[in-house]
């Protein structure tokens, strides 16, 4: 029963620890370099001063990358300075994708994801779709299941069943229609799997 509060406490302590390290590094850097630290190169130098972490941020392993503190620092500079090229400095794939996506969302420029490194490009498109509520970028995702999940998520978010027709994976498409049936029971009829179709109808009847 006490596990959840304990996890929350550990996360808070870890975040406070990161903030303490960042503020300490900031003070040291300012003492050495002064206001130059607001420049792109100064910001990079400041972030690289942060130590690598040797323990995970929480028990689930989230934030277990040793570069977490540096990545957060680079992320902040990239967004505050409207400079997505700073995202290149991030080491953790998930954070790097979020960095490019947040920059693209803030600047209303999907081409920022186009120019992201290939290993995080699909994640950038998926994250951008979630942040902006648009489905057009889903088309650009190369990995098929990720593209289908992007369309399914946007269909649920926007209440647009037409997006379900863009999904190639039958199971994901059926799940998309089941989600749409919450607002219109007729969509249960579009579910191809017999068992899922019956489950859909029963779920609608229980409402």
Return the axis-axis angle of helices 118-132 and 93-107, rounded to nearest 10°.
Answer: 50
The CA-based angle 144-147-149, given to 5 degrees, is: 110
Residue range 13-23, pLDDT digits in tens: 554 455 555 55
**Residue 37: pLDDT band with limits 50, 70, 90:** very low
Residue range 154-190, pLDDT digits in tens: 999 999 999 999 999 999 999 999 999 999 999 999 9
Q: What pLDDT was estimated at residue 169?
A: 97
Q: Is the pLDDT of residue 197 over 70?
A: yes
Coil, strand or helix at 116: coil
**Residue 12: pLDDT band with limits 50, 70, 90:** very low
Q: Is residue 184 part of a domain?
A: no
HSE-CB of 49 using CA atoms within 13 angstroms: 18
The tally of domains found in the chain comes to 1
Rounded Cα gap, residues 182 and 14, in angstroms? 40
Q: Is residue 132 part of a domain?
A: no
What are the structure tokens assigned to 71, written together? 């990545």
Token look-up 């808070």 returns 12
What are the structure tokens assigned to 54, written together? 């040797």
Residue range 51-104, pLDDT digits in tens: 887 655 554 444 567 888 889 999 999 999 999 999 999 998 888 999 999 999
Contact 82, 100 (CB under 8 A): no
Q: What pLDDT was estimated at residue 21?
A: 52
Q: What is the pTM of this model?
A: 0.73
What are the structure tokens assigned to 165, written together? 């027709």
Q: Is the pLDDT of residue 27 over 70?
A: no
Q: What pLDDT was estimated at residue 189?
A: 96
**Residue 113: pLDDT band with limits 50, 70, 90:** very high
Domain hosting 62: range is 1-85
**Residue 46: pLDDT band with limits 50, 70, 90:** confident
Q: Is residue 100 part of a domain?
A: no
What is the per-residue DSSP string for 121-159?
HHHHHHHHHHHH--SGGGGG--SHHHHHHHHHHHHHHHT
What are the structure tokens assigned to 158, written together? 């926007």
Q: What pLDDT was estimated at residue 89?
A: 93
Rounded Cα gap, residues 161 and 155, in angstroms? 6
Q: What pLDDT was estimated at residue 48?
A: 87
Q: Is residue 33 part of a domain?
A: yes
Q: Is residue 23 part of a domain?
A: yes
Instruction: Report which of residues 10 and 177 the model is more confident about.
Output: 177
């Amino acid at each position: 029963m006490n596990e959840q509060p304990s996890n929350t406490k550990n996360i808070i302590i870890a975040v406070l620890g990161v903030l303490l390290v960042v503020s300490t590094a900031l003070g040291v850097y300012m003492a050495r370099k002064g206001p130059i630290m607001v420049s792109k190169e100064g910001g990079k130098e400041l972030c690289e001063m942060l130590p690598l972490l040797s323990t995970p941020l929480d028990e689930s392993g989230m934030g277990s990358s040793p570069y977490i503190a540096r990545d957060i620092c680079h992320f902040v500079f990239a967004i505050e300075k409207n400079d997505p090229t700073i995202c290149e400095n991030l080491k953790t794939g998930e954070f790097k994708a979020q960095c490019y996506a947040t920059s693209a969302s803030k600047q209303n420029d999907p081409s920022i994801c186009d120019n992201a490194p290939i290993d995080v490009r699909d994640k950038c498109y998926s994250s951008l779709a979630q942040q902006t509520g648009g489905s057009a970028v889903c088309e650009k995702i190369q990995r098929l299941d990720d593209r289908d999940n992007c369309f399914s998520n946007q269909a649920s978010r926007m209440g647009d069943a037409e997006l379900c027709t863009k999904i190639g994976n039958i199971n994901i498409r059926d799940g998309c229609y089941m989600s749409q049936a919450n607002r219109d029971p007729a969509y249960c009829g579009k579910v191809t799997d017999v068992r899922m179709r019956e489950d859909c109808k029963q779920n609608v009847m229980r409402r």
